[in-house]
Structure 1
Amino acid sequence: MPPLNLTQQQEQYLRDNFQLSYHIPYLDVCSKKISLKDLDVLEIGGALPASLVIEHLECNSWSAVEAPSYDIELGEANQFHRNHKEQQKLIDLGHRYRHFYCNAEDLGDEHLNQYDLIFTIACFEHINRLPLAIEKMLQYLKPGGKLFTMHSPIWSAFDGHHLPIGIPERFDTQLPDSSYIFQPWGHLLQSRAATFTDIASRFDREFAEEVIYNTYNSNHINRYFSEDYWVVFEASGFLIEEYQITFPRNPSPEIQSALEGIYPGYKQFGNNGIYAILQKPSASVVTF
């Protein structure tokens, strides 16, 4: 059966018109855990189309939040702005489907205690003020509301550099030295200086500067290790209903030992991402 009980034609329409790929199976995982029908949902880090979340899944409302700096830096534009059919749906739905361009932590007070569910995928690794953002998410939820997150790759993963750039066409990628930018966990094993020297020697200084910026300086990733997410979640005020490290690719014993030596206190380098469901505590009842 197609994910979310979509027909093959519906799924192809979503992929073609909205460039949805991992979004569909992740939403499917969420919908199997939490019934979305009649819920007021806040999506952070994306904007699933109204035809999917309002018409097909029958959510009561869907509010999408995207950080404009992320789209600008990566040169991305939200897909539903290019789809005239979807635009008409938005007009017809009014406040049942809304879209906000701001950081998750910057939504106004009118969003406090308004949502049954916060849905966020492939996003938490990009939020730089993650503890503050999660603190605000707790406030946006109604008592008993839930937060669903699946995010990867995180900084401690083998590809945690999360480079948004590839090898430029001017290089011959058939040559062994030009077939990769980082070896697995290379962004963690090499210093910034060593990375620059390595990339410049195999490519050129111009490309090395781009790699250094996007790996170590750009705001498009937060560089949180796997254990950091647990600490943030545990201190957030949420109840941790489910928590799993996901997509395993374990380093060799030699690399594991080297990573633990460079980063004392960290041991989880084998997971590419994290899956969690957090719950806001229900309102306490005061008795006299």
Structure 2
Amino acid sequence: MTTTSPTGEDTIAAPGLAMSEAEVFADFLSRVNLSGAVVAEIGGAFPIDLLHRQGVAKWYSIDPHRAAETSQDGIREVITARAEEMPLADASVDAVFSCNAFQFLDVAATLVQAHRVLRPGGLLYAHFGPIWSAVDGHQLEYVRYQDRDLTFWDDTLLPPWAHLAYDREELRALLRSGLTEELADLLVAHVHDDDTINRSFFEDYVAAALASGLEWVQLSATDQLDYQIAPPEYDAGLLRTVDPAQLAREVSHRRGVSTQLGVRDVLMVLRKACTAK
């Protein structure tokens, strides 16, 4: 799988792009000097001791699902807000950082905010996935069943490409053939109705990056899957063998734009121009 930058250079990463949170932060550190820096983190709140070790001046954690708080020394401030409505001043941060959050937000609106709050020369670094283009793009999270939160990597209840290859009633019939009606209906509602995921394809992220006003540094992707999808035994008559290439053609036709499938993890690095254009 290969993507191409606006300059015509290939930007695809090696198959090992998928990284742990610690590896993502280490890669971020290799690109940004955090000593005395002001950073806006989108989704999450890095440990204060880690920020101390890097000499961070101020670290804003923008996350609508976290309670607002400020560390005793005032270095880390959690702001309960959406990234699309970042409550920070213009040109006030040296970097915007995000790990595993961009699939949950409006990317175009978030990048507009990032462009606004970044100082000239400031860097946006975002690592995220899986996204709607992926074999497991349904992102089975935020589903609770029998007093337990389900996760897509442990609870592989949905077959590959379930979010794109089946309509609502087809998926309901399939899942009810191997699960309780209650759980099947929960999963169908999550795939088709839940608003925690943005349902953006890889091409949508590329388009948002190009329209953001930020300069393209790197946009890399991989189709590597780091766990096994092993769904329950469903009715064979209802289960489809999906050809990803054919599915991509169907999705492209529905969307009216060429769409590749399989992209699962993405690294997006953009920079605000040092001088106004």
TM-score normalised to the size of structure 1? 0.74
1 CA distance for matches of 2:86 and 2:252? 35
* 1:150 corresponding residue in structure 2: 127
For the pair 1:125 / 2:103, whether they are aligned, the reply is yes
Structure 2 residue identity aligned to 1:63: Y
For the pair 1:188 / 2:164, whether they are aligned, the reply is yes
Secondary structure of the 1:278 match is: strand
Q: CA deviation at 1:166?
A: 7.2
Structure 2, unpaired ranges of 5+: 1-18, 148-154, 226-240
Q: CA deviation at 1:130?
A: 2.3
Higher relative contact order (CA 8 A, sep 6+): 2
What are the residue-to-residue correspondences of 1:250-265 with 2, within 5 Å?
Answer: 254-264=243-253, 265=257
* Poorly superposed stretches of 4+, deviation over 4 Å: 165-170
Q: CA deviation at 1:147?
A: 0.2
* 2:55 corresponding residue in structure 1: 58
Superposed CA RMSD in Å reads 2.6
* 2:24 corresponding residue in structure 1: 26
* 1:13 corresponding residue in structure 2: none
2 CA distance for matches of 1:254 and 1:214? 24
* 1:210 corresponding residue in structure 2: 186
Distance 1:113 1:107, change over 3 A: same
Aligned-pair identity (%): 23
Higher relative helix content: 1
1 CA distance for matches of 2:202 and 2:177? 31
* 1:268 corresponding residue in structure 2: 260
Q: CA deviation at 1:168?
A: 5.4
2 CA distance for matches of 1:43 and 1:241? 19
Secondary structure of the 2:276 match is: coil
* 2:231 corresponding residue in structure 1: none
What are the residue-to-residue correspondences of 1:1-288 with 2, within 5 Å?
Answer: 22-53=20-51, 55-68=52-65, 90-91=71-72, 93-94=73-74, 96-108=75-87, 110-127=88-105, 129-164=106-141, 180-248=156-224, 254-264=243-253, 265-284=257-276
Structure 1, unpaired ranges of 5+: 1-20, 69-76, 82-86, 171-178
Cα deviations by residue, 1:174-222 (Å, 9 ceiling, x for unpaired): xxxxx84222222211112211111122112211221122212112100
Q: CA deviation at 1:97?
A: 1.9
Q: CA deviation at 1:140?
A: 0.8
Secondary structure of the 2:160 match is: coil
